[in-house]
């Protein structure tokens, strides 16, 4: 079940593929989109640095590009961002690989690679760097979500959540402040598009509020954004 939750929250992450070999870029894009990642592609370093300004959660970066060396792009990115980077390298570039990790890439994949393996690496890296912190705490310990134990603790007591409620809560807390539409939440909890489930989301949110809010009518955690959906407004505690 936990695995399912982890996979469930992966969708919606924005991945930028920087690769001038169109064929490779297209295949990787297709595999990632199949896993519901949002994917953008760039064929040059300049284009990549432009697209980065739009907000990206992870970069897949080819080492050899027509205008810039992947290493330089990596360094440019690292000057002001800790965004996870997976470097693509050719087999002959043994030293380059090591250099790649030395200049701030988080992982590397050697060409030719299996797209499946790359997707697995993407997920592993997201999990490691942002996805599931094992335990997150909000509002001075008032609400604790322990994903490794599949537990929600409110005011020091464990509250029983259904798997759907848990997924929904994780999905919201994972990006505090971000507004999620009902459709996005339905997709997140069910894993595929399903029409006519808006009210289901409302029902789940209502149940969750009764479990984690002191007063569900004036929520401190899940706020209704009228006409749109919901967002999580709890304040994360320092680690
Ligand atoms: Ca290339």
**Residue 11 · residue 58 · CB < 8 Å:** no
Q: How far is the CA of 94 from the centre of ligand 1 (A)?
A: 16
63 Cα to the center of ligand 1, angstroms: 6
Distance 23 CA to ligand 1 centre (A): 11
Q: How far is CA 212 from CA 31, 80, 203, in A?
A: 37, 37, 15
CA of 53 to the centre of ligand 1 (A): 22
Residue pLDDT, tens place only, 93-136: 556 555 656 667 888 888 889 999 899 889 888 877 765 456 78
For residue 237, cis peptide bond before it (omega within 30 degrees of 0)? no
86 neighbors 60 (Cβ within 8 angstroms): yes
- Contacts of 227 by beta carbon, 8 Å cutoff, 6+ apart: none
pLDDT per position as a tens digit, 156-194? 999 998 878 888 898 888 777 888 888 888 776 765 445
In sequence order, what are the beta bridge partners of 14? 38
CA–centroid distance, residue 77 to ligand 1 (Å): 18
In angstroms, rounded to a whole number, what is the distance separating the alpha carbons of residues 229 and 1? 26
d(CA 33, CA 50): 22
Q: Are strands 85-90 and 58-62 parallel, antiparallel or unpaired?
A: parallel
What distance in angstroms lies between residue 132's CA and the mean position of ligand 1's atoms?
32
Residue 167 C-alpha to ligand 1 middle, in angstroms? 39
What's the gap in Å between 5 CA and the centre of ligand 1? 35
| Phi and psi at residue 106, to the nearest 5° | -90, -25
- Copy the structure tokens of residue 179: 């507004």
CA triplet 31, 32, 36: central angle to 5 degrees? 120
Q: Which of 9-23, 97-111, 156-170, 208-222 has the lowest mean pLDDT?
A: 97-111
pTM as predicted:
0.54
Q: From the CA of 93, how far away is ligand 1's center (Å)?
A: 12
State in Å: Cα 126 to ligand 1 middle.
Answer: 24
User: Does pLDDT of 57 surpass 50?
Assistant: yes
Angle at 80 between CA 77 and CA 84, to 5 degrees: 55
């Amino acid at each position: 079940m936990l695995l399912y939750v982890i996979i469930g929250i992966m969708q919606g992450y924005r991945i930028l593929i920087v690769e001038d070999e169109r064929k490779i870029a297209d295949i990787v894009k297709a595999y990632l989109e199949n896993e519901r990642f949002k994917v953008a592609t760039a064929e040059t370093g300049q284009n990549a640095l432009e697209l980065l300004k739009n907000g990206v959660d992870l970069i897949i970066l080819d080492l050899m590009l027509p205008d810039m060396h992947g290493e330089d792009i990596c360094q440019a990115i690292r000057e002001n961002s800790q965004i996870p980077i997976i470097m693509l390298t050719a087999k002959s570039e043994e030293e380059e690989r090591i250099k790649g990790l030395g200049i701030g890439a988080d992982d590397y994949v050697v060409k030719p690679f299996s797209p499946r393996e790359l997707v697995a690496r993407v997920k592993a890296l997201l999990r490691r760097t942002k996805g599931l912190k094992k335990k997150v705490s909000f509002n001075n310990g008032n609400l604790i979500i322990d994903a490794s134990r599949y537990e929600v603790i409110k005011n020091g007591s464990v509250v029983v959540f259904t798997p759907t409620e848990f997924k929904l809560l994780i999905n919201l807390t994972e990006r505090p402040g971000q507004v999620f539409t009902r459709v996005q939440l339905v997709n997140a909890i069910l894993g595929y598009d399903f029409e006519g489930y808006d009210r289901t989301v409302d029902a789940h949110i209502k149940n969750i509020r009764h479990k984690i809010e002191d007063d569900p009518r004036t929520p401190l955690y899940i706020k209704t954004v009228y006409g749109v959906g919901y967002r999580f407004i709890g304040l994360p505690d320092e680690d």
